[in-house]
Structure 1
């Protein structure tokens, strides 16, 4: 990414919005400075770039996505491929992805490739535990997540897809890290959504393991995040099911079953048959175990 390409893209966005340089500039950025920047002659500070984007009514994410000519980043493409192969339960293709990330780590010595490979191994473990042989590398993933003070999208995705690797103690510890270290990003819809989805999975796993204390604590956090966005109806209905699961697990079986059945009924009404069937099977299994 060169200064010239950034400047030219700014000019393209400005002209597409029929804005003059004068309309974009202010006391901190002169027309001459903007002109030189758009022509790639000079640089500007990040603060001035953010000010320009604000004047153009463009988000930082939109701008840099356009700068990459609307192509997915290498990591984004990896996640798309990973999801497709996981849904198809294609262990061989996930193994190929993992081996590819391992080779890149060996060739370039960039730790993120090794972390990606560990994440892919977690999915292999989910699908076929007999082919999982990376136990010795798990501490590297935990160390990275514990060392990062501010979790960005990368850390959340890494954690969300590696949950099966962790003990209950490690899962609780890392979930607390996620909550505490992503608070700056809760106003960003993309980050909030993946945090909510990850919390949902963590709560379900903890309840299935009989860990009701921390699951309740994380569920309270989940409810707070859901209050921010009134349109997350699917997630709110899943949260209701988890609330019922908690009641069921703590001795209030009748109340728990009522909440879970209401949640399932909502999915039926919304014609989300597969989801309704999945949760109905889960509830039936819980009742059979009692």
Structure 2
């Protein structure tokens, strides 16, 4: 019980500090965000982590700050370097760099966490995801039991959120065609989830790009084209520069597999060059290695 109280206080402090950061950055006073609907003292204690406020009061403060809940969550994750944010960023960077030593270390770390805290099922899921990333980076396979564990979890969740998309996007290379088609169609039907929220949209776009890549590697042009068309119809905004480049890259790969080899390969190389020009050197090198294998 004491441990839970301490965790709650720590969480409240992080949330309050994040709100204070936003308020001060916008030049707002305590009076500006409370507007007389509750006391400034309550807001001040909330921001300092001394006490909590009700959900309704929290939403009042957000509204008066002209900040959406999703925007607050994004700022919270980045500015406070939450455990999940740091872990996923570290995992992503290790994969892009193909740092097998780091990935093996992360597998051991999560094996330890899931063994020491067996009741926390998300530790076990994260362990499976890290294993999948290591296998992907090293060109090896993962055990069927791990794939089954992941798909059982995904099947049990009726409404996927960002976490489930993150799991799927990182593990889909190891799903068979039937599972990949089934889960991919589910995502296509969730337009209400990602059409209005910027971060959700980015996560979905990257997941769909991963799906396209897998179908292309499996030489299933019909499936690949279905998802390419979907992303084209979404009209990816300039905010998602990397995603637009990767769509072009996959379109080039698609053309290559259709028989337009020189044209397709040239487009793929152009995308790799663009990423390198803008500082994504490791990602560019990975694409060039893929091009060399064609």
Report the more deviating stretch, 96-105 or 201-210: 96-105
In 1, distance between residues paired with 2:211 and 2:224?
8
Tell me the residue number matched to 1:94.
106
Gaps of 5+ in 2: 1-7
In 2, distance between residues paired with 1:198 and 1:66?
22
Tell me the residue number matched to 1:248.
256
- Assess if the C-alpha contact under 8 Å between 1:152 and 1:182 holds in 2: no
Aligned residue among 128, 135, 139 for 1:118: 128
Cα gap change, 1:199 to 1:101, in 2 (>3 Å): farther
Aligned residue among 152, 156, 164 for 2:165: 156
Cα gap change, 1:65 to 1:214, in 2 (>3 Å): closer
In 1, distance between residues paired with 2:244 and 2:21?
41
Cα gap change, 1:229 to 1:131, in 2 (>3 Å): closer
Question: 1:80-112, CA deviations, whole angstroms, 9 ceiling, x for partnerless residues?
Answer: 333344431215313313312322442xx1221
Q: Secondary structure at the match of 1:210?
A: coil
Based on CA coordinates, which of the two structures has the bigger radius of gyration? 1
Q: Secondary structure at the match of 2:54?
A: coil
In 2, distance between residues paired with 1:63 and 1:223?
29
Q: Secondary structure at the match of 1:33?
A: coil
The TM-score, its normalising length taken from structure 2, stands at 0.74
Tell me the residue number matched to 2:262.
257
Report the more deviating stretch, 73-82 or 275-284: 275-284
CA RMSD of aligned residues (A): 3.6
Q: Secondary structure at the match of 2:100?
A: coil
Q: Secondary structure at the match of 2:160?
A: coil
In 2, distance between residues paired with 1:185 and 1:162?
20
In 2, distance between residues paired with 1:267 and 1:66?
30
Task: Give the total of aligned pairs.
Answer: 273
Gaps of 5+ in 1: none
Structure number with greater CO (CA < 8 Å, separation at least 6) is 2
Cα gap change, 1:74 to 1:207, in 2 (>3 Å): same
Report the more deviating stretch, 115-124 or 148-157: 148-157
In 2, distance between residues paired with 1:136 and 1:281?
31
